[in-house]
Structure 1
Amino acid sequence: MKKSVTLIGVCFVFSGLQAQIKMYSNGNVGIQSSAVPEAALVVGGNASNKGTGYKTYIRSNNHALYVRREGVPTNNSTWLIANEGNNWVDGGQFYIGIKGYSIYGSPLGRGRAWGVFGEAGNSTSGYNYAVHGNLRGNQRGAAIVGTLDNVDINVPGRYVGYFMGDIRTTGNIYGTVLTPSASRSALMGRSAVMPLSAESDATNSMSVVEKLSQLTAVQYNLSEPQAAQAFAASGDTVAAAPRSVTDAQALEKTHYGLDAEC
């Protein structure tokens, strides 16, 4: 009697699995899918809108896929990767390692969309990267490329970052001023660029270089009234208004300018 009950239980479980997992005559497997799968493995729907080019297709009204890595590695690896995409470049097509796609067909006017969202933290100080791009090889390109409504662009050199469009920041920008040769190379091809020379112009006996040599570079900090006058809206009572982020940044920054005494 005890064996009979166990047998009935096994048959019940097997029957439930058979209803959830199906292998079709085309060799493809469907899980929680009523249609004939067009991909090798389909979970939660059919892959007809993606054609037959995908080996695995997952569809869900909630989070579609979750991968978690934790614990002590068994292979003593230094690099512990939760999810890796490797697309070997071996032809003339467009190759993408990992693609993030979050968009609606027309302006929706609500919600938030991130094509790629990265978070990192609480590792060794200075070695936390939410998004890391690394340009390898010796061909032209950039570790991070940003464009507006443009996908296929030709990067003219090798850069950490290359952006086609306006760039705006609310904080500081740290870097090195371009040398004259670098500035000139970046501006070559523009008809409006005129090189500086020691020759005098037609209306003044003092050369451009001599004029520039009389300028003195100075650094300074804004006081509270100066920052308020520079960044507060016209007519505002600065003393009564709370300090904005822009005002606070203006007070914290060291400002630079040219002092002409001639």
Structure 2
Amino acid sequence: MESSQFHTALALLDWQVELGATEAICDAPVNCYELPDTLAKPKAATGPQAVSQAPKAAAEVDPVAEAKRAAAAAQDLDALRDALAGFEHCALKRGARSLVFSDGIAGAPVMIIGEAPGRDEDREGRPFVGRAGQLLDKMLAAIGRGRTDENAPVYITNVLPWRPPQNRDPQPDEIAMMRPFLERHIALAKPQALVIMGNISAQALLGKRGITRLRGNWTDCFGLPALPMFHPAYLLRQPAAKREAWADLLSLKARLGDG
């Protein structure tokens, strides 16, 4: 190399060093801030090593299947209550204060099934204790029955054991999750007849809505005679419907063979 070319190259190198270029990596310049179109993929392992390195996919949980297993394992009502208390797949549980399981006397000839707990029920942990519950007690007393009457008892529960936020209607997936527990609850309580109160209960147990059309007509539910009725909360809003509710109560009384 001629002396003039050497000094020119050296001057250019000094200039680049002053600019901050301290290392020569390759012939073509590289933009370190530019992402490649495709990242190099690591070579896939084969054989037993591939099995050990494969990420384990998180198994999806079927809440209804889990509910069926938990409910079927319960051999008595206390065990069923514990199974519900330990069921973690229903989001309502995390927002509720209490598990509302039942009230009245287990083994009573009539089992009343409401929709879901409200504020008062959530606070006390018992179904039907608010204004609607007070009306229900009066309705039952009119045909000689009561939740604490050992001679003519009733047993009471709800489709959902936890209060929905702001007392909204239960969602279909929530009903589906709780239905296995409700079916097992009925089997363990062994009533002679069911009273299905309100649209939500009719939807959960009969797969039908339209309580004004369903009420007063005996049907079959899990092999038991079942009577759909207006929910007491509806009767508080529509007092004129108490006439139909009274007719339904008399029908229930006759069905149970009460004098």
Normalised to the residue count of structure 1, the TM-score between the two structures is: 0.21
